[in-house]
Chain A
């Protein structure tokens, strides 16, 4: 069992001159820009950051424990969103459950029922894919990059599957227009956004408790630290791997549903497009570090939204990408120093 000290070390800041300079410059720039930044965009940025965080935490856990970049993670999100669509459009209406505009929200309570189903389906699917595909490659002891290559094939196949079942066009959950809340400082926030934030807070807290308070969480952290040592200490690495997939894919499915709610549409390419902000957040936080991924997600989300004040909004992924490149130049191990970056 790992001592808590290890945990604090991993999230503790290791200050270096380069980082200090970068932080000072960034803080000065942010402070200088602050009077010009619309607070509404910052709020939107935290909402976008919440969705990024749910995806990025999964990627970083898989990275830490299975040691490869899961390129299919975006398509797990897509899968989650579409499974929920199947529930609210096909399955639940058959048993008489339908509706939209629950309270202040645009969507109805069927989406709330569909969410856990989507999480379960995608989590089980991810475990099954691991059993038939990734496990064989691990047994063959292939290079980590071959696993990433395999996840590219999985990503393509998953998206193809989504397009076969639901066609390639735009769809959306049954929705009703709703008033946005007007807050001081010209901030307008949609009730759906508050829902997204609340779901994220609950899930992040759950992941935190799981990682720090349960045996499985400790086993996961031990495996991430040193897989061989974990194995010889009697940790069941196979079940750690299954749990990692379940948590990562479950969070991804939730992120997919929330993304579909916040964009008010579903597209088969939505998850693949989301990979850039996801990996930017993972890189910023340091690979393998879930708390870093959380912070990275908010930085990416807020920067991307605030950039729309000056840039065409469709450049948001490019902004995330640019931040990632700068981070790789200044401090490749991420803000908090993740696992190995070489």
Chain B
């Protein structure tokens, strides 16, 4: 590979790492700040990606497809003639709304109960979403997949340089989400979430409505994951139910957060770049290290090892106290 090749590969790598960074931030709101155990990230991933894609992709040609009828192409419906570049933002918004609504529904049912129920419910929603897009071919072409998802700002720049532009887009979104999540974590709201994570009964006794706070945190994380899914859809520009297998859409994100440092937003992003770097870097290694099954195994081992040896991950959680409490002994 020449220099240009390396730079271009790095841009593609950084886009995916950035998108995973978004998911890791979302998961950190769930697990790191609040202790919500979501093992169905793939469900929100798929919902976000499909929502954004269906709103912006051209209506399928009836001559080419028998079953596939739906097709957003809402950008050319006329009632909001904004072009794809502005519809990208509507797609992003819709993806986050859809994920937020689903999170509200699951959270409402399970968050009053033991923590484990949420895990099982998220697992169920991930599988249900996958089965829906697999079987309902009219929505998104089933297993053959949805393709020709448009590029955001694709007319501005030549195709070979497009990755650099999209990298900027992803990094801007990531930075904005980081700022928002960090602000939330430092706020009194964020402190209540950590109080709930540490001791639910104590938080309840302090007059906090634990259920409401958990529900808000669950919805907030899901919204971030929806945005991540939308960013992914416009990057890969091809979606099929196989894209959202548990390994690359759930497990690896857990590994990223655990390695980087759960409870720490910088750690979430660091973990995303690090684990994605290891994951994509090892494919060039000789022998067993590039074996996808071995790498799958190592993702599990990594999670186990982090919890056993260094539960805080690389960065660990920062101490966040109220400004008014500065200097006071906590």
Write the residues of chain A forming the contact surface with B, with a CB cutoff of 8 angstroms: 63, 68-69, 71, 133, 136-137, 143-146, 148-150, 152-161, 163-164, 167-168, 269, 272-273, 275-276, 279-280, 283, 287, 312, 314-315, 317-318, 320-321, 324-325, 328-329, 332, 340-342
Q: How far is the CB of A340 from chain B (nearest CB, A)?
A: 7
Is the Cβ of A152 less than 8 Å from the Cβ of B131? Answer: no
Selected from B37, B109, B134, B304, the residue in CB contact (under 8 A) with A153 is B304
Is the Cβ of B296 less than 8 Å from the Cβ of A156? Answer: yes
Residue B98 lies at the interface, judged by CB distance under 8 Å to chain A: no
Is the Cβ of B300 less than 8 Å from the Cβ of A342? Answer: no
Write the residues of chain B forming the contact surface with A, with a CB cutoff of 8 angstroms: 31, 35, 37, 39, 109-110, 112-117, 119-121, 123-125, 127-128, 131-132, 134-135, 246-247, 251, 254, 291, 293-304, 307-308, 311
Q: How far is the CB of A338 from chain B (nearest CB, A)?
A: 11
- A69-B120, A133-B308, A283-B120 known; A321 vs B300 contact (CB < 8 Å): no
- A314-B135, A325-B121, A342-B114 known; A137 vs B296 contact (CB < 8 Å): no
Is the Cβ of A315 less than 8 Å from the Cβ of B131? Answer: yes
- A152-B254, A158-B300 known; A145 vs B116 contact (CB < 8 Å): yes
Q: Which residues of B contact A275 (CB under 8 A)?
A: 120, 123
Q: Which residues of B contact A283 (CB under 8 A)?
A: 117, 120
- A69-B119, A144-B116, A329-B109 known; A156 vs B300 contact (CB < 8 Å): yes
Is the Cβ of A71 less than 8 Å from the Cβ of B119? Answer: yes
Q: What are 21 residue pairs bridging A and B, where the CB atoms are less than 8 Å apart in the complex? A: A137-B307, A137-B308, A144-B115, A146-B311, A153-B254, A157-B297, A157-B299, A158-B300, A160-B298, A163-B293, A163-B296, A279-B123, A283-B117, A283-B120, A314-B134, A318-B124, A328-B110, A328-B121, A332-B112, A332-B113, A341-B114
Q: How far is the CB of B297 from chain A (nearest CB, A)?
A: 3
Q: Which residues of A contact B311 (CB under 8 A)?
A: 146
How many Å lie between the Cα of A312 and that of B131 in the bound state?
Answer: 10
How many Å lie between the Cα of A143 and that of B121 in the bound state?
Answer: 20
Is the Cβ of B296 less than 8 Å from the Cβ of A272? Answer: no
Selected from A71, A133, A145, the residue in CB contact (under 8 A) with B304 is A133
Q: Which residues of B contact A317 (CB under 8 A)?
A: 124, 127-128, 131
How many Å lie between the Cα of A232 and that of B308 in the bound state?
Answer: 28
Q: Which residues of A contact B132 (CB under 8 A)?
A: 318
Is the Cβ of A163 less than 8 Å from the Cβ of B297? Answer: yes
Q: Which residues of A contact B121 (CB under 8 A)?
A: 321, 324-325, 328
Taking CB as reference atom, which chain B residue is nearest A160?
B297
Q: Which residues of B contact A321 (CB under 8 A)?
A: 121, 124-125, 127-128
Selected from B113, B116, B131, B304, the residue in CB contact (under 8 A) with A157 is B304
Is the Cβ of A160 less than 8 Å from the Cβ of B296? Answer: yes
Is the Cβ of A324 less than 8 Å from the Cβ of B124? Answer: yes
Q: How far is the CB of B328 from chain A (nearest CB, A)?
A: 27
Selected from B119, B296, B298, the residue in CB contact (under 8 A) with A148 is B119
Selected from B112, B119, B299, the residue in CB contact (under 8 A) with A160 is B299
How many Å lie between the Cα of A149 and that of B295 in the bound state?
Answer: 19
Nearest first, the 9 A-B pairs at minimum CB distance are A160-B297, A157-B300, A156-B300, A153-B303, A321-B124, A69-B116, A163-B293, A160-B296, A153-B304
How many Å lie between the Cα of A342 and that of B117 in the bound state?
Answer: 10
Q: Which residues of A contact B110 (CB under 8 A)?
A: 328
Q: Which residues of B contact A328 (CB under 8 A)?
A: 109-110, 113, 117, 121
Is the Cβ of A160 less than 8 Å from the Cβ of B114? Answer: no
Is the Cβ of A71 less than 8 Å from the Cβ of B39? Answer: yes
How many Å lie between the Cα of A207 and that of B117 in the bound state?
Answer: 26
Taking CB as reference atom, which chain B residue is nearest A312?
B135
Count chain B CB atoms within 10 A of each CB in A157, A320, A342 and give the residue with the most: A157
Is the Cβ of A136 less than 8 Å from the Cβ of B308? Answer: yes
Q: How far is the CB of B34 from chain A (nearest CB, A)?
A: 11
Q: Which residues of A contact B300 (CB under 8 A)?
A: 153-160
